[in-house]
A = this chain, B = another copy of it.
Amino acid sequence: MFSHIDIKGNMNLIILSVLSKNDKYGYEISKEIYTLTEQRIRLKEGSLYPALHRLEKQALIEGYWVEQEPGKPNRKYYRITEKGRSMIELEKQEWISFIKIMGRIICEGESTGI
């Protein structure tokens, strides 16, 4: 039915936004995005974990391990930093600018409802 949607370089903003509400672990983030987007966006592990490490290296998020009951795999939770929150605001503004510009380019005299 619905085809997969390309996130087009917005992974950082997506992850930071999801973490801005509360701390989450990797696997939880991917499930959250999957349901939040009505199964349209599925972050694969090969994209998600490198992205989380990248964001951590930039000090936009911080990871901390939380042990689970014996036998269950431990979880690495991530919290957003103050720097990360500033980044959200910045990237959000850029995103809004960009969709306005795109609207102008692709609509050009048409009415598409954007």
Contacts and interface: CB of A to CB of B under 8 A. Distances in A.
Contacts of A53: none
Name the prevailing secondary structure of the A interface residues: helix
Interface of A: 3, 5-6, 8-10, 13-14, 17-18, 21, 33, 36-37, 40-41, 88, 92, 94-99, 101-102, 104-106, 108, 112-114
24 contacts: A5-B94, A5-B101, A6-B94, A8-B8, A8-B9, A8-B98, A9-B9, A13-B102, A14-B102, A14-B105, A17-B105, A17-B106, A18-B105, A21-B108, A33-B105, A36-B104, A36-B105, A40-B97, A41-B101, A88-B106, A92-B112, A95-B102, A96-B113, A96-B114
